[in-house]
Structure 1
């Protein structure tokens, strides 16, 4: 039986990781959960003739700054489990819940959440969520009841987040209705802040070229190598719900998204969509940025808005483009306005850019 400690030490010995006191400190919590889940689950007696479902093992809410290794530790933990478990990005999971509820309503089910939650309970004993954050009111209004259903059915939840529970859905509409969910999290999960001075995701890009001109020095190959190093393999799409519409990042894992230029700028997306993308990712890989002009003026305007959103949110950008930033937009209406975008693209290539203070 492999423990989380064993995997962590093995990867340090293999040179894949550096020992980090903040990471090592939380391993005992992961191991506690793994060990308790491995024990036979006996239903609690309830009265003389009824039995309650097994009580959920207390989970873990691991929060802290970006790039500290939270997702990596959770992945290692999931590898050790011997019970049915699922690791999924929180946004993607909630999108599945909404889709299931929509179908249930079409089928005439009065309580659309009940059959969807029941299906989750049938499939897993543990849910591992990456990057829990709640910005959408539709998520906020159902998540409390959903998690109550999961906990009462004996499902354990482990999640990572960049926010302390009390800051979830901060300043959101009708937030008072959301507050009981925060109390549920604190009751059913150990809240652990991972404090480390090292941003590993940022450090892995320090000194690396992040802006590649197509056709020069194996640009695509080098970009894909960075993507694999940051995100690994098996990255599914991430679907964001913005004002009732779906916005898709074709590939997403460990806070790193990957898309082609026309996935993001060739569609009818606007500022709210790009703000949601900037909120959801910490690193964004964009392939095939073309030369821009009056012939693709709408795409160019969207690209400017996207870069503004990424810049303000301190999202690290890795991209391939048809030309250097100053030569991307050289003729037609908008060239003057694009100078600021070109300047930002240059600034975002700096080795220290994106480090939050």
Structure 2
């Protein structure tokens, strides 16, 4: 997102009529469940900071998006937490390592900020968030987070978790914690019409399948190196809103979410070829693949995965990355072409 500059602070309450959510749900053809109604009450009828957590596909991001869209002010911001991290680190550099000045730069014009997909697995991120969170909560701004994890499950590595407990306690003391755990995973009922859900999982990714899809494989002279966020990323083709990239180049090299975010900004359709099962890929490439899926989903990029394995067995094996259930849920929205079968 683009961060706007500071304006005079508004005194407008950040509350809504809960009927807004009922109408939005009806327009999409579904009925709100009890867990969603509890979250709506916390979102719409108070100004308190809020932490929405629960299993994948239960509507956390939809609830946040509906609140954000209906809020009658332009003093609001919504951003994926990976992207906020990138912007904040850049702002801190600009302001000589002054965190408060960096937050003022990014958030000074806002009365409410919504962070999607809040999670912490990396100890270095945990240390930074322990520094960030008190400064963020000191500001006159409503903070809303969505996460697949209850606060006590953040930074689960037992080697580092205890050091993060004071930050967890700060979250629990300053944010209303609401579990959104309704019975339906709404991502399993996608109509595959647009965006990420219009993508395909194609296995085994044979030349015949590629030809049948009308895809024209890149020539060797189309290979190039992009640097969308300053790091080199090797791609097979980058043209006309299409990006064609090999899994080893995207996830086998030292790439990061800031690279995927920048690429998703520039290319709305991706082909990712030679995708192996995640056990074969190895722990770090598999975790990067998880981050790629999060970014493509969040940016509603339409992907075609040319994979060596059917989607149902992608996650078989012992070395599965964290957040795998969320990723399985998101990939489950894709249409499938597996051997001579097709599911749309």
TM-score range, shorter chain: 0.5 to 0.7
Counterpart in 1 of 2:128?
142
Is 1:273 the counterpart of 2:259 in the alignment? Answer: no
Q: Please, which of 12, 16, 19 is the counterpart of residue 32 of structure 2?
A: 19
Distance in 1, matches of 2:274 and 2:115, equals 26
Give the alignment partner of residue 144 of structure 2, picking from 148, 155, 158: 158
Q: Distance in 2 between matches of 1:217 and 1:165?
A: 44
The C-alpha deviation readout for 1:288-327, integer Å capped at 9, x for no partner, is 639xxxxxxxxx8xx99xx856985352266799xx6559
**CA distances 1:84-133 after superposition (whole Å, capped 9, x unpaired):** 111111111112222323444xxxx2x44232122233121211011110
Q: Tell me by how many angstroms 1:241 deviates.
A: 12
CA RMSD of superposed structures (Å): 4.3
Specify the alignment match of 1:68 in structure 2: 58
The 3 A distance-change label for structure 1 pair 128 and 7 is same
Contact in 2 for aligned 1:61/1:192 (Cα 8 Å) = yes
Quick one: structure 1 residues 127 and 176, their matched pair in 2 at CA, closer, same or farther if it must change by over 3 Å? same
Q: Distance in 2 between matches of 1:243 and 1:175?
A: 28
Select 2:119's aligned residue among 112, 133, 146. Answer: 133
Displacement, 1:21?
Answer: 2.4
Indicate if the aligned counterparts of 2:16 and 2:44 stay in contact, CA closer than 8 A: yes
Which residue is equivalent to 1:31? 44
Q: How far is the alpha carbon of 1:279 from its aligned partner? A: 5.9
Cα gap change, 1:120 to 1:69, in 2 (>3 Å): same
Alignment TM-score, normalising by the size of structure 2 = 0.61
2: CA distance, partners of 1:242 / 1:88: 27
Unmatched 5+ stretches in structure 1: 37-57, 221-239, 291-299, 328-345, 352-357
Q: Deviations over 1:166-211 (max 9, x none)?
A: 10111165333322211111111100111211000122269x9954
Q: How many correspondences in the alignment? A: 261
Aligned positions of 1:1-357 closer than 5 A:
3-33=16-46, 36=47, 58-83=48-73, 84-104=75-95, 109=96, 111-171=97-157, 174-204=160-190, 210-211=200-201, 213-214=209-210, 216=212, 245-247=255-257, 248-249=259-260, 250-251=263-264, 259-261=270-272, 271-278=283-290, 281=293, 286-287=303-304, 289=306, 308=314, 312=320, 313-314=324-325, 315=328, 316=331, 325=338
Specify every segment of 5 or more residues in structure 2 that has no aligned partner in the other structure, as ranges. Answer: 1-12, 203-208, 217-249
- Shift of residue 165, structure 1, vs aligned partner: 0.3
Q: Greater Rg, structure 1 or structure 2?
A: 1
Q: Using CA pairs below 8 Å that are at least 6 residues apart, which structure has the higher relative contact order?
A: 2
- For the 8 Å contact 1:61–1:161, the answer to whether it is kept is yes
With the length of structure 1 as denominator, give the TM-score of the two structures.
0.59
Match of 2:230 in 1: none
Distance in 2, matches of 1:113 and 1:72, equals 31
Shift of 1:277: 3.1
Q: Could you tell me how far apart the structure 2 residues matched to 1:244 and 1:175 are?
A: 26
